[in-house]
Amino acid sequence: MSKIIDGKSVAAAVREEIKAEMAGLKEEGITPKMAIIMIGDDPASAFYSRSIEKACINAGALSEKFSFNGAGDEEEVVAVLQKLNKDSSVHGIMIMLPLPRGINKQRILEAVSPLKDLDGVHPLNRAYNLSNNEGLFPSTPQSCIEILRRNGISIEGKHAVLVGRGESVGKPLIYMMLNQNATVTVCHSKTSDLAHHTRQADILIAAVGKPKMITAEMVKPGAVVVDVGINETEDGGLCGDVDFENVLAVAGAVTPVPGGVGSLTTALILKNLLKAIELGKKIS
C-alpha cells in the first residue's frame, strides 16, 4: 500500500529543533533577526511574508518588514539593502518574489549580502550549490530533500527525474540531488515523450505549476513521487502537479498538496537564518 508522506509532521520536528537552537543563541546574547523586503502588492507574496513573520514569532526570532510600492522605489530598495547588509543586528534578508515589472531583479538580488541571503538567490550562493560548497540555498528545493531524508527515503544511487527547470525550484534542485549522489534526469516543456522519462524514475519530482499533469500512467510502480506544485482549483481549493488520488494507487509514496513539501518551506527559511548566523561567526 502506498504511503502518504506527511510534510506537517516533518515541519513540526524541524520547528522544535529551531526553537532549541534559538534558545541556545539567546544564551549567547544573540537574538536572531531577519528583514523581509516586500516590493509591490503581489497577494501570494504578501501571504507568504505574513507566514514568515508568524513563524519568527513562534520560534522566538525577530522580523522587520520593509515595504515598497514598486518600480519607482528601486534606488531606495538598494539603499536599504546596503544598510541592512552592514547592520550586525540583522542576520538575514528575505526578498519576496516575484518582483514587480520595472524592477531590475538581478540588481536587487545581487544587492543582498550572500551571507544574509535567506532564500539562496544570490549568484554566489547559486554557485556554492552547484559546486557542493557551504552556503545558503533556496528553501523549497531544500524541502524536497528534507522530506525524503526524514522519511527514511534514500536518494543516493537512485534515478531522480525532475519535471520542471524553473529558477526557484527546478534548477537549484538539480544540483542538490546530484550532491546527494542521485542520477538526475531533467524534463521540461520541450521534452519529447515525457511519460517515457517519468516512468523510469525511482524518485519523481514535479515542479511545473500545472494541475494534476502527472498521471498514474506516468509513474513507475513503487516510485516515490514528490509534488512541489500548488495550484488553485475551480472550487477555490488547492491541488498539486500530481493527480494525487490516482497516482497514490501506483506509487510507493507520495507527498500531498497541501500538507507536503509546502509545509516545510517557512521552517527552512528559519533554518537558513540560523545558518546565516553561523556563517557570519566564521568570518567575524
Domain identity same for 152 and 243: yes
Domain at 105, CATH number: 3.40.50.10860
Q: Are residues 150 and 60 in the same domain?
A: no
Same domain as 250, residue 184: yes
The reply to whether 152 and 241 lie within a common domain is yes
Tell me, yes or no, whether 107 and 221 share the same domain: no
Coil, strand or helix at 200: coil
Would residue 74 count as lying in a domain?
Answer: yes
Within 131-261, where are the H helices? 139-149, 170-179, 194-198, 244-248
User: Based on the domain organization, do 107 and 147 belong to the same domain?
Assistant: no
End residue of a domain, out of 114, 129, 151: 114
The range of the structural domain enclosing residue 212 comes to 139-262
Report the candidate in 276, 283, 280, 226 with the shortest Cα–Cα distance to residue 251: 226
The verdict on residue 62 lying in a domain is yes
Residue holding cell 538580488? 109
- The values of phi and psi at residue 263, to 5°, are -65, -25
181 with 255, same domain: the answer is: yes
Q: Are residues 93 and 203 both part of a single domain? A: no
Residue 10 forms part of a structural domain = no
* Domain membership flag for residue 121: no
Domain assignment present for residue 131? The answer is no
* 144 and 109 fall within a common domain: no
**What distance in Å separates the CA atoms of residue 206 and residue 227, rounded to the nearest whole number?**
5
R_g of the chain, CA atoms, integer Å: 19
Task: For residues 143 and 71, state if they share a domain.
Answer: no
The grid coordinates listed for 25 are: 543563541
Q: Considering the domain boundaries, does residue 22 fall inside one?
A: no
Do residue 109 and residue 153 come from a single domain? no
In the numeric block, which cell numbers belong to residue 239?
Answer: 491541488
Q: For 204, which DSSP code? A: E
* Any domain includes 95: yes
Which pLDDT score, from 0 to 100, does residue 281 have?
86
pLDDT of 284 reads 66
Shared domain for 144 and 250, answered yes or no, is yes
Q: Please name which of 79, 149, 66 lies closest in space to residue 108, comparing C-alpha atoms.
A: 79
Domain count, the chain: 2
Residue by residue, pLDDT tens for the chain (284 residues) are 579 999 999 999 999 999 999 999 999 999 999 999 999 988 889 999 999 999 999 999 999 999 998 877 999 999 999 999 999 999 999 999 999 999 999 999 999 999 999 999 999 999 999 999 999 999 999 999 999 999 999 999 999 999 999 999 999 999 999 999 999 999 998 999 999 999 999 999 999 999 999 999 999 999 999 999 999 888 888 899 999 999 999 999 999 999 999 999 999 999 999 999 999 888 86
Would 36 be classed as within a structural domain?
Answer: yes
* Cis check: omega of the bond before 141, within 30 degrees of 0: no
